[in-house]
Amino acid sequence: MSADSSHDLSARHIPEDQTELTSSPPGIVVRAARPNDVDALALLAQELLAFYGLPARNQRSYMAHVMTAELFERESNLKILVADAVTGLSGFLAYTEVFALASCQRSFFIQDLFVTRRARAGGVGAALMGELLREADESEIAQIDWTADPWNEKALAFYEKLGPLLKSDKTLYRLAGPSLRRSMQEQKR
């Protein structure tokens, strides 16, 4: 979904059937990521890559180093919510705030919502989304957008429980790797 769609998923009023999104499961605290979370975030990022069948191109220590620099030492628009349990981080939600020029509204775009395999179906994803909804309400965000893989039936079922959703017929495009470098070189000509 694009940031310029007119569907409003803000949390100005959370319907009664979504109240489970506003509280965390016992033993879980949802909070903003802190610099001392980067080792655990790197481990979660590697588990996310494995979930998608992608290789982790970097060692966890390198990933933690880069995360520290990009998230906490530089000006970053990426915000991370973490689900903190006694046993460590059990999930995260990474998002950015976007201003849609056409609608003149601010929105959140979810980059990733990930919960460890052992914590899935335990309310962690709902707690992360609940905190994002609370932050959206507090920041007067007009909508929240994200994408989901059509093959990920559990994620789709989770998102469908959030209420009426605007589904897009838009196609996601991405330039990365060799295609990106080729396009950049062609642009220079």
154's CB contacts (< 8 A; 6+ apart) are 120
- Per 3-state DSSP, the chain is made up of helix, strand and coil in percentages (nearest 5) of 40, 20, 40
30 close to 63: Cβ distance less than 8 angstroms: no
Q: Determine the Cα–Cα distance for residues 78 and 96; give it in Å rounded to an integer.
A: 5
7 close to 146: Cβ distance less than 8 angstroms: no
Kindly report the pTM of this predicted structure.
0.79
Helix (H) or strand (E) holding 10: none
pLDDT tens string 152-183: 888 888 888 887 677 777 777 878 888 888 88
Domains identified in the chain and CATH numbers: 16-188 (3.40.630.30)
Q: Determine the Cα–Cα distance for residues 81 and 128; give it in Å rounded to an integer.
A: 7
Average pLDDT over residues 54-66: 90
Q: What is the pLDDT of residue 10?
A: 34
pLDDT tens string 15-27: 344 444 556 677 8
